[in-house]
Amino acid sequence: MDAAGTLANPGLWDILISRVLPQLTAGALGSLRGTCTSLRDLLDNDVSAPVWAAAAPHLLPLPTPASLSLQQPQEQQRSQQQHAAATSSYTNHVTKRTKRVLATCNVLTGQQQKTMVDACGGAQGTEAGRQREDFEFEYGSSSLASKFTKPGNRRYWIGGAAVLALVLLGVSFVWAGREPSVQPRNLPKQVLVPIPTAQLNSGHRIPLLGWGSFTLQGDRCRDATESALRAGYRHIDTAVTYGNEAEVGAGMKPHLEAGRVSREDLFVTTKLWSNQHARDTVVPALQESLKKLGLAYVDLFLVHWPVTDQHGPTLEPPMQETWEGMQDAVDQGFTRSIGVSNFSPEKIDEWFSNARIYPAVNQIEIHPHWRNDRAIQFCKDKGIHVTAYAPLSSPGNMPHFPNDLQDPAVLQVADTTGKTPAQVLLRWGLQHGGSVIPKSSSPTHQEENLGAVGWELSQDDFEAISNITTQLRYFEGSGWAYTHEGPWHNYEELWNEPMSPDQK
């Protein structure tokens, strides 16, 4: 390095911060030996011996070539011995006071340094001698690394340990302040299995394993949404009637803002409630939902039930009118796909056969105690994707119905496959229909449920669960579909099928 370049060098502390620490944190943290090497490299590159010599000429009674030639041989030898002793003493000084020497460096001119370099040129003034002198100025009679191994030379160890401690402190600060990652550590292995997707008739793709938010409210809903995305869910189901769109939005927000999840990776579903079926209220209703969700569009907008708040002999407003509003929502970019929920095959056929945009999804109740085979087959034939709600049989909401998580057939399969009952049920749902959207407020359950992907039930195990004979529709819709005025006076009219024998 030339003198001018050397003079432009930063101070040792700056060098430590800007070069040594990044080297260490980038992976060379491994050993103290590595630290020594870094320091040595640093010194080699940035602090050349001639400059140190130039920095403190008063410490070296250096003979110049001219003065040497005037001396007798004995005097020359004595001069050289003095030079060697002074060099050794100076090396110690440099090691102790590098910082001060460097500061002094900056006030010397290039010519002064060159003079001192020539003066330090060794007994013979040769290049080899100069290089040896340089080396000794920098490291003494042995390498810096070797000083670590010298008995009693503890300052190197202390210095190295101090640098290491500083690095560890810095790393721990960075670690403590980091944002939690979307894929947390120590998750079960299955979380790393990608969630498969299916293509809808709209051309968009739906993740087959989603997360439902029904009954979750307030901070609990926000936290559960946040942890669901952190666990790896990308398909989120909500509805205006759940009263939690704002909280679902609040749970998604930190992931979206921090860029841990991109909007494109999310699949968000919300639903139109029964009092918003007039064509000109559909888009405003969705806009209101979007405002609460904090999104510019949803991926799927569903007509929640084939009912309205107006009772009478016919459905008012007519579904065709409502569907016009749904199509408007697609045209205006507020939703990518539209579909229905709790719609029978007959109603879909009657209302949508000539629709400009055919329903992409029918979200219906499906679990081993309500296989819903007829609706699934119809949708399959028509190219409508089926999403299974209550895939765990909704034990929290339906405590008086059989709990599939405790069904003997499910427990038996869980035993033979080594999976949990929830994983078996969700796996069954995936193999039986389309997608599943289990709700869970618990991060542990959320993670467990992700274990439904990446494996398959054998045909025997699948059939053992499919053969559960008792069949009961848990979500009858009786609360808003059974009216004296109509249009649906009873179960058969709403679902276009007789109640199952187990239901009566």
Ligand X SMILES: NC(=O)c1ccc[n+]([C@@H]2O[C@H](COP(=O)([O-])OP(=O)(O)OC[C@H]3O[C@@H](n4cnc5c(N)ncnc54)[C@H](OP(=O)(O)O)[C@@H]3O)[C@@H](O)[C@H]2O)c1
Residues within the interface to ligand X (CB under 6 A): 212-214, 237, 341-342, 363, 389-397, 405, 422, 437-442, 445, 448-449, 475
Taking the alpha carbons of 447, 379, 287, 481 in that order, is the dihedral positive or negative? negative
Cα–Cα distance, 138 to 87 (Å, whole number):
10
In the complex with ligand X, the residue whose CB is nearer, 65 or 396, is: 396
Least separation, in Å, of the C-beta of 320 and ligand X?
21
Q: What is the DSSP string of 67-99?
A: HHHHS-HHHHHHHHHHHHHHHHHHHHHHHH-HH
Least separation, in Å, of the C-beta of 403 and ligand X?
9
Q: Could you tell me the two tokens for 403?
A: 């709990």
Q: State the residue for tokens 């979750």.
A: 216
* CA-only gyration radius of the chain, Å: 39
State the residue number with the nearest CB to ligand X.
Answer: 212
Least separation, in Å, of the C-beta of 240 and ligand X?
12
Cα–Cα distance, 432 to 303 (Å, whole number):
24
C-beta of residue 438 within 8 angstroms of C-beta of residue 215: no
In the complex with ligand X, the residue whose CB is nearer, 255 or 304, is: 304
Nearest partner of 38 among 189, 170, 148, 199, judged by Cα: 148
In the complex with ligand X, the residue whose CB is nearer, 3 or 329, is: 329
In the complex with ligand X, the residue whose CB is nearer, 115 or 403, is: 403
Query: Which amino acids are annotated catalytic?
Result: 242
Cα–Cα distance, 92 to 99 (Å, whole number):
13
Backbone angles phi, psi at 107, to 5 degrees: -100, 0
Least separation, in Å, of the C-beta of 38 and ligand X?
50
Helix H or strand E encompassing 302: strand 298-303
C-beta of residue 281 within 8 angstroms of C-beta of residue 325: yes
In the complex with ligand X, the residue whose CB is nearer, 46 or 497, is: 497
Least separation, in Å, of the C-beta of 14 and ligand X?
54
Alpha carbon 501 to its chain's center: 49
Per DSSP, the three-state class of 195 is coil
In the complex with ligand X, the residue whose CB is nearer, 124 or 397, is: 397
Q: State the residue for tokens 């007798």.
A: 72
How far apart are the two ends of the chain, measured CA to CA in Å?
94
Cα–Cα distance, 253 to 244 (Å, whole number):
14
Least separation, in Å, of the C-beta of 212 and ligand X?
2
